[in-house]
Amino acid sequence: MMYKASVSFGGKVSMSVGEVKDISDVNIAKDLLKAGYIEEVKPTEKDKPKDEIEQPISEKAKPTKGKTKRG
C-alpha cells in the first residue's frame, strides 16, 4: 500500500514530508497512521498496471475493409 508522509520521521521506515512510499509491513503502517505520520494514498488511473487500463486500438490492429496485403 502506498502512503504519503505528513511529517518527517526515521526508524525502520524513514520518510520526508510529502514523500510517497510503499510500506509493506502492515504493523508499521498501522502505527504510523495512528500517530498521524502518514496518510494512505489511493491509487489513481495512471498507477494501475497497464493491463487494467483500457487502451485504444492501434491503427495496425483495426480491421481493414476488404484490403489485404500480399507479399
User: Is 23 a member of any domain?
Assistant: yes
Show pLDDT as tens, one digit a residue, over the chain (71 residues). Answer: 999 999 999 999 999 999 999 999 999 999 999 999 999 999 876 666 665 555 555 555 556 666 666 65
- C-alpha distances (whole Å) from 21 to each of 25, 53, 55, 69 are 12, 22, 27, 50
How many domains does the structure of the chain reveal?
Answer: 1
Would you say residue 61 lies in a domain? no
- pTM (2 d.p.): 0.61
Is 6 a member of any domain?
yes
Indicate whether 22 belongs to any domain: yes
With beta carbons less than 8 A apart as the criterion, state whether 55 and 61 touch: no
**Domain assignment of residue 57, yes or no:** no
Domain of residue 18, residue span: 2-45
